[in-house]
Amino acid sequence: MRRALGLFAFIGFTLFLLVAVVSLRPFGEPVHTEMDSYFIGHAQEEASSNNVVTSIVFDYRGFDTLGEATVLFTAVAGVLMALRRREVKA
Amino acid sequence: MTTLIIKTTTRYLTALILTFGAYIILHGHLTPGGGFQGGAVFASGLALLIVACEDEVIRERFKKVPLSAFESIGALGFLGTAALGFMGYTFFKNVIANSGFPLFGDPTPIGINPGYLNTGGTLPYMNIFVGTKVLAGLTSIILVFYLLLGVRKDE
């Protein structure tokens, strides 16, 4: 009974993966490119940066970087609080 | 840990690694990389130093380095640079870009160009602050782990 159930689940999951692979979009031909084209076209004049990735990370989507920095700050503060001994002045 | 091989390697490699980390941080708006990546490279160089030196030397040297203060300065500086956009615009507005500000304020030529260091507006400032923050955070984590484990020299 258990074996049959496992076989059924395996076949179902395999079919799901196969269907997902077959129905993938072709590589290199995205459907919605308005945002990408805007970033690539306007990064140099608006963010004044040759590196479009940096202009996205720090300018267009700066809130994401702020959240990442907060996560790192919290992690470091937690590690230092949990593991710091009295004589360690880190 | 502090074998002769590691000591000799550290003597030649650490300066190169630290210089490369500073280069990645400062050129974040021109070349691939940025604050996070450059800070991680810089912290890996400092980790090499921590591994290669004696326990007492590390204790003595890092007592004078305000790593916690660097971390806080990085976070607050990033927020402050983002809050510069409140001067008439919105949060995270790049106010220094193309404004003629002497540091990082030159306008960027449109189109394909080799890239000039004195451009970018607030992006280089944010890169520097995030780099300071990441290198201080990762180095303090490594330092606390090292001192907590009480690694003795085994030669």
ipTM of the complex: 0.80
Interface test with A, best of B108, B112, B143, B148 (most A CBs within 10 A): B108
Angstrom CA distances, A57 to A29, A50, B29, stand at: 24, 13, 11
pLDDT at A33: 86
Distance, in Å, from the CA atom of A4 to the CA atom of B16, rounded to the nearest integer, reads 61
Q: Which of B82, B91, B61 is nearest to B126 (CA)?
A: B82
Residue B132, both tokens: 């300071």
Residue of chain A minimizing CA distance to B36? A69
B3-47: per-residue pLDDT in tens? 889 889 999 999 999 999 999 999 998 998 888 999 999 999 999
pLDDT in tens, B109-154: 888 888 888 888 889 999 999 999 999 999 999 988 888 776 554 5
Residue B78 near residue B130, CB atoms below 8 Å: yes
Q: In B, which residues are within 8 Å of A66 by CB distance?
A: 78-79, 82
Residue B146: φ, ψ to 5°: -60, -45
Integer Cα distance of B114 and A80 in angstroms: 43
**Which residues in chain A touch residue B30, judged by CB atoms under 8 angstroms apart?**
49-51
- pLDDT for the residue B137: 92
Q: Rounded to an integer, what is the distance from CA A69 to the centroid of its chain?
A: 15
- Positive or negative, the CA dihedral A68, A70, A71, A73 is positive
Of B62, B75, B120, the CB nearest to A69: B75
Give the span between the Cα atoms of B105 and B124, in whole angstroms: 10
- Give SS3 for B119: strand
Instruction: Report the residue from A48, A53, A54 with minimal CB separation from B107.
Output: A48
The nearest CA of chain B is from the CA of A82 a distance in Å of 10
Distance between first and last Cα of chain B: 8
pTM across the whole model: 0.82
Helices assigned H by DSSP within chain B: 4-26, 35-52, 55-62, 67-83, 122-149
